[in-house]
């Protein structure tokens, strides 16, 4: 499919609210700890946010930073900012130090920063250091207001930014346009997820992240569904409690948390019957986790791959077409190709660099001209992911381009080894990287054991033989380190680049 049939003058913030007011104004749009909010009340809150931003002097296309936990005020601030023509920029509220926000303030030149009780102190200090000296506004103090004029934005105007969580360097601002959100709602939301107005969505990934943003805001509001917002970091306990209390029909999470829930004591006895199916993204879902979840709860996880740059999932399994361990097939409206280092298509079942084409793609990286030129290649976006496609058309993740390990001239996928390790009864979590040992690349695994298992040299040897029996003989960890935790992003994605840093205690065989 090509571009959507949207009018030239189009404002996605207003559209996501106006489309629900006539027939669903009294319907609950948001369940949250601060209370339920109907679509009608949410529209009034968004108008209040739009009016407040206007009164603070924010002008068309000026940026508004949002650093707050998920709440009705967060949603109203985001939609209200677009409504009045500003550009909302959500940022991770979980960063520990005030200094962590300096880059976002200076890069975005934000005029206003939306905060809450958990982030106000950090951002107050950061704002005093910023060149723009932005005003601070609390999301929980946004009040309802009368209807305000909708900014006459165009479908190809800049609408919002999301920051990429890149593996190295400072985060890059990904610029999205007004028409990008509807494109994801019609392609993935309607044609793969099958979301409808009777659904209740719950995502353990926050709204500041592209995955959670689509799952728990744009796609539900597109069809008039209801969302469940959880303020704060999700754990197996909070996720299970929320599911039992709010009874969502669609549950979205990251593979790491799906696995953690499976390993959580008493999880199999919890009440998950409201869920009709689950979705995983943000990292590859091991087939073993997919099978264990299916066995434990009778629920299918639809694994897929997306990115901040493409806004949401562009390759996915379907309910009637699942290949566990794979990322499925291209979502309608998107095209994929896999190329080698010379730009030629790779044969079936050989790994190469993945490129994607679809009309939700970023327009550019803000103030990153060279990076934009290297990544946005005409209609195609270079994902930085290594993939292979099998003879049946399923795409299989082989790791990031910079995560792949070359051992004795052969490429090794860390994902394959991690998946094999997870099949062992002693392994709770694992992450695999390549490290330099005497000038040669060796494969190293970091392993978290289950329960009360005490790791020792015999377990190292056992795990190595376990991998050799399931993979090619060279695809096994030469070194294994047992750890208590793994470095992860706020959304649960393992940061393998941090594990490549030297000077760690290592067990080996």
Long-range contacts of residues 374-382, Cβ cutoff 8 Å, at least 24 apart: 375/309, 380/337, 380/355, 380/356, 381/309, 381/310, 381/355, 381/356, 381/357, 382/353, 382/355
Residue spans of beta strands (DSSP E) within 368-439: 376-377, 380-389, 395-400, 405-407, 410-412, 427-437
pLDDT at res. 440: 80
Top CATH class of 1-178 equals alpha beta
Paired sense of beta strands 479-482 and 410-412, if any? unpaired
Per-residue pLDDT tens over the stretch 207-257: 999 999 999 999 999 999 999 999 988 999 999 999 999 999 999 999 889
Per-residue pLDDT tens over the stretch 341-395: 899 999 999 999 999 999 999 999 999 999 999 999 999 999 999 999 999 999 9
Identify the DSSP state of 351. Answer: -
pLDDT at res. 502: 58
Q: Which helix (H) or strand (E) covers residue 72, if one does?
A: helix 72-83
Reference 196, options 167, 226, 217; nearest CA is 226
Reference 316, options 192, 134, 167, 164; nearest CA is 192
Reference 29, options 230, 223, 160; nearest CA is 223
Domains 1-178 and 405-508 equal at CATH topology level: no
* Residues 262 and 213 sit within 8 Å (Cβ to Cβ): no
DSSP H helices in 174-301: 180-184, 210-213, 219-223, 236-246, 255-262, 287-297
- The CATH superfamily holding the domain 405-508 is ANL, C-terminal domain (3.30.300.30)
Q: Is 343 left (phi over 0), alpha (psi -120 to 50) or beta?
A: left
**For domain 180-402, which CATH number applies: 1.10.1510.10, 3.40.50.300, 3.40.309.10, 3.40.50.12780?**
3.40.50.12780
State the pTM of this model.
Answer: 0.87
DSSP H helices in 186-229: 210-213, 219-223
Q: Which residues contact 122 (CB under 8 A, 6 or more apart)?
A: 67, 95, 97, 98, 100, 101
SS3 408: coil
For 477, half-sphere exposure in the C-beta direction (CA atoms, 13 angstrom radius) is 30
Cα separation, 23 vs 220, in Å, equals 15
pLDDT along the chain (509 residues), means of 10: 82 98 97 97 98 97 98 98 98 90 97 97 97 95 95 98 72 96 98 98 96 97 98 94 98 93 95 97 89 97 96 97 97 97 94 97 97 96 95 92 79 89 95 87 94 92 95 90 90 84 48
Reference 187, options 315, 377, 78; nearest CA is 315
Per-domain residue ranges for the chain? 1-178, 180-402, 405-508
């Amino acid at each position: 499919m090509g571009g959507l049939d949207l009018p030239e003058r189009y404002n996605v913030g207003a559209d996501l609210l106006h489309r629900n007011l006539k027939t669903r104004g009294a319907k609950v749009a948001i369940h949250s700890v601060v209370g339920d909010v109907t679509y009608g009340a949410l529209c009034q809150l968004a108008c209040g946010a739009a009016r407040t931003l206007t009164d603070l002097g924010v002008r068309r296309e000026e940026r508004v930073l949002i650093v707050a936990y998920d709440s009705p005020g967060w949603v109203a601030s985001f939609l209200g900012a677009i409504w009045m023509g500003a550009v909302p920029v959500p940022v991770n509220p979980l960063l520990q130090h005030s200094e962590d926000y300096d880059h976002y303030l200076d890069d975005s030149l934000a005029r206003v920063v939306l905060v809450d009780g958990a982030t106000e102190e950090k951002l107050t200090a950061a704002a005093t250091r910023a060149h723009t000296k932005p005003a601070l506004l609390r999301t929980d103090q946004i009040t309802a207001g009368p209807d305000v004029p909708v900014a006459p934005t165009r479908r190809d105007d800049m609408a919002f930014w999301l920051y990429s969580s890149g593996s190295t360097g400072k985060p890059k601002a990904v610029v999205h346009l007004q028409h990008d959100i509807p494109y994801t709602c019609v392609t993935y939301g309607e044609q793969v997820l099958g979301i409808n107005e009777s659904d209740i969505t719950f995502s353990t990934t926050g709204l500041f992240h592209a995955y959670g943003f689509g799952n728990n805001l744009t796609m539900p509001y597109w069809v008039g569904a209801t969302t469940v917002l959880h303020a704060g970091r999700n754990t197996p306990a909070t996720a299970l409690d929320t599911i039992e209390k709010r009874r969502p029909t669609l549950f979205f999470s990251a593979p790491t948390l799906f696995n953690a829930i499976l390993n959580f004591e008493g999880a199999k006895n919890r009440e998950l019957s409201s869920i009709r199916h689950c979705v995983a993204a943000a990292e590859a879902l091991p087939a073993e986790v997919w099978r264990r979840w299916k066995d434990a709860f009778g629920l299918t996880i639809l694994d897929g791959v997306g990115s901040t740059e493409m806004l949401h999932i562009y390759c996915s399994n379907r309910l009637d077409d699942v290949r566990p361990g794979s990322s499925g097939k291209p979502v309608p409206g998107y095209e994929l190709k896999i190329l080698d280092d010379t730009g030629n298509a790779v044969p079936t079942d050989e790994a190469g660099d993945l490129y994607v084409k679809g009309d939700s793609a970023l327009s550019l990286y803000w103030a990153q001209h060279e990076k934009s030129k290297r990544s946005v290649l005409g209609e195609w976006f270079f994902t930085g992911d290594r993939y292979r496609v099998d003879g049946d058309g399923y795409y299989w993740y082989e790791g990031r381009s910079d995560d792949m390990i070359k051992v004795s001239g052969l490429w090794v996928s860390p994902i394959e080894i991690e998946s094999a390790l997870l099949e062992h009864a002693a392994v709770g979590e694992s992450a695999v990287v390549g490290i330099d040992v005497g000038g040669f690349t060796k494969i190293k695994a970091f392993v978290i054991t289950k329960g009360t298992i005490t790791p020792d040299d015999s377990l190292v040897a056992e795990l190595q033989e376990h991998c050799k029996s399931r993979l090619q003989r060279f695809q096994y960890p030469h070194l294994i380190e047992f750890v208590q935790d793994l470095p992860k992003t706020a959304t649960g994605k393992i940061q393998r680049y941090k594990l490549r840093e030297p000077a760690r205690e290592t067990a080996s065989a």
